[in-house]
Structure 1
């Protein structure tokens, strides 16, 4: 079969050619682009389905799915923090599906599916923390921070990067984490104080620690597995789990309601939940905890048993109302100040 790409509208390729129409899957991937590309490569190598993939941060992905609500151009959304996936489920933007693979998954992955009415499912997990550049800290005589409170130290002025929660699920998880740790008013007072030390609010959740790895920042607040990935590549990055406790993500996957290619989406959905597929992800630099119980976790992945985790309320902080409230307050109290 010969396929000729003749148009690209809204990220979706229209094709013409000879023979039967190609099977296609229109995929949003909200993980690191290397991981996304590896998934596409493996899937296309074992299926007669062409994947049109676009990489978007979690917040961007939710906005795209919502904007396309009446005319979906996406079939499947894989990866990214679970909160926007839960919001999409509550908005009726994703479709209900109980995969036969559920019996093979970790309890937290199944709980994510149950919370959403089976409109999303957990695909990986990871705890929030930060990575700092040990060479910068040593050269400038900075004290390595061990706790959330330490990040407010004036000596870290201009050294910290954090993503913008309007585009990044990582940053929204940071807001929800500190609200649950401290209380809402105290958490926003904390972020106002932290703003004095933040040099940049990035678009992508993993960008802050990549900047630290390149010595463009001293420290990035990220999911710990993203910091581990930089350390494993040989950069001078030390990984920290906050002493007071921290939140965590359940990276999720959702099929889109009214998708153009639901059968192909179902094939990918079940395939990517398998132990075999999840076990190859470390080869693409993924250091999350896989959701399939039989999948091999990366040796360098942070051990959640060694981290003080809060009892993160995914139902509340993944709800459309609560998420919208917190993002609106961020925009009013932090975003405007950060833009000055």
Structure 2
């Protein structure tokens, strides 16, 4: 994932002068304020913030300063600033792999979102991955992204389950996420559940991954995408948006389900959620609530959804997306997050250090 380190002030164009401008500002309690948002990758920011900036300015009188990064990067920045009088952000993008850690460390505010958000009723229960903390804006389906041409060359049928990751014919032709890539944290507890491997004993799963002889352990999702579309690797794990964006652009790739078996049910994809939270210590809590309402809305998200096929967390936005004939085939029978396997990230967090050590000692270093 590309990381943007510069700060960008996103403000609506236009001007006003004289008494009418003063009156307009007086009607907006947040006029003249700037909300600092610790966001994600550049392409998502340009689309989402570009779509909502003018409306947010019109309704609140406030601007938004975007600081690009990633969920792990944003968590690191919050941890580094803990205890300081002023946090680095007012609102922050995290995900369901990093939000529990941020909550446990007291870095994000626990809020009664039922009263804080006008859009609260549009979020299913899984729309709030960590109880009491910020909502999701995208439900991310993590699956197998594979190069259709390479699979044909290897004489392989399209992948249909996690077992296909470990096919001997794919040795040396697989790209796996490394521990610093958030796909790793989302995938490991789900894969452990599928193979009935307890979270306190990762050794058996590590041996399976070691035998793949992965071509690369990627930290950047862009690296995996590049290797996949050029045929250097036959398959990798990618989010639906990244994989389907390649397909929508005409690349010979497709997204296949992993079919996680858990507690007697089969789930086609692993679910993790991109979230947005209010940062502890921010003096702009009320403005941040309005920001979250709009950031999760159709106004903000639909332009990016049309480029990527991501699933919005809000039910009203998803209903709109499913009406788009270009997007409908990429959603299929998927109806809600209950159709996806959502790992218990709080439980995994308690064992994560041991999993990282096991991965580094067995997979990264070859055992």
Q: TM-score range by the shorter chain?
A: 0.7 to 0.9
CA distance in 1, matches of 2:297, 2:140: 19
2:113 counterpart of 1:103: no
Residue 272 of structure 1 and its aligned partner are, at CA, apart by 1.5
Partner of 1:337: 366
* Cα-Cα RMSD: 3.1
CA distance in 2, matches of 1:227, 1:12: 28
Residue 82 of structure 1 and its aligned partner are, at CA, apart by 0.8
2:297 counterpart of 1:281: no
What is the aligned counterpart of 2:91 among 76, 86, 89? 76
Partner of 1:85: 99
2:57 counterpart of 1:43: no
Partner of 1:23: 33
What is the aligned counterpart of 1:203 among 219, 228, 236? 219
Q: Summarize the Cα distance change of 1:12–1:144 in structure 2 as closer, same or farther, 3 Å threshold.
A: closer
Residue 22 of structure 1 and its aligned partner are, at CA, apart by 5.1
Partner of 2:171: 157
- Is the contact made by 2:244 and 2:308 (CA closer than 8 Å) also made in structure 1? no
CA distance in 2, matches of 1:235, 1:53: 31
CA distance in 1, matches of 2:144, 2:179: 16
**TM-superposition CA deviations, 1:97-134 (whole Å, max 9, x none):** 22322222122104x2xx43x22222221322111111
2:182 counterpart of 1:169: yes
Q: Secondary structure at the match of 2:205?
A: helix
- Is the contact made by 2:260 and 2:341 (CA closer than 8 Å) also made in structure 1? no
Partner of 1:222: 238
- Bigger radius of gyration among the two: 2
CA distance in 1, matches of 2:167, 2:283: 51
Partner of 2:312: 290
What is the aligned counterpart of 1:138 among 152, 162, 172? 152
Partner of 1:7: none
Residue 334 of structure 1 and its aligned partner are, at CA, apart by 2.8
**TM-superposition CA deviations, 1:271-325 (whole Å, max 9, x none):** 1133443334323x232221211112342433435997446324423xx423344
Q: Secondary structure at the match of 2:89?
A: coil
Residue 234 of structure 1 and its aligned partner are, at CA, apart by 0.9
Residue 210 of structure 1 and its aligned partner are, at CA, apart by 4.4
Q: Summarize the Cα distance change of 1:308–1:44 in structure 2 as closer, same or farther, 3 Å threshold.
A: closer
Residue 237 of structure 1 and its aligned partner are, at CA, apart by 0.6
Partner of 1:121: 135
CA distance in 2, matches of 1:326, 1:22: 47
Q: Summarize the Cα distance change of 1:324–1:50 in structure 2 as closer, same or farther, 3 Å threshold.
A: farther
Residue 13 of structure 1 and its aligned partner are, at CA, apart by 7.6
Q: Secondary structure at the match of 1:331?
A: helix
Residue 175 of structure 1 and its aligned partner are, at CA, apart by 0.9
Q: Secondary structure at the match of 1:250?
A: strand
Q: Summarize the Cα distance change of 1:50–1:333 in structure 2 as closer, same or farther, 3 Å threshold.
A: farther
Structure 2 stretches lacking a partner, 5+ long: 10-16, 18-24, 26-30, 262-268, 322-326
CA distance in 2, matches of 1:214, 1:305: 33
Residue 140 of structure 1 and its aligned partner are, at CA, apart by 4.5
Q: Secondary structure at the match of 2:331?
A: coil
Structure 1 stretches lacking a partner, 5+ long: 1-9
Q: TM-score, normalising length from structure 2?
A: 0.74
Partner of 1:3: none
- Is the contact made by 2:145 and 2:235 (CA closer than 8 Å) also made in structure 1? yes
Aligned residues: 313
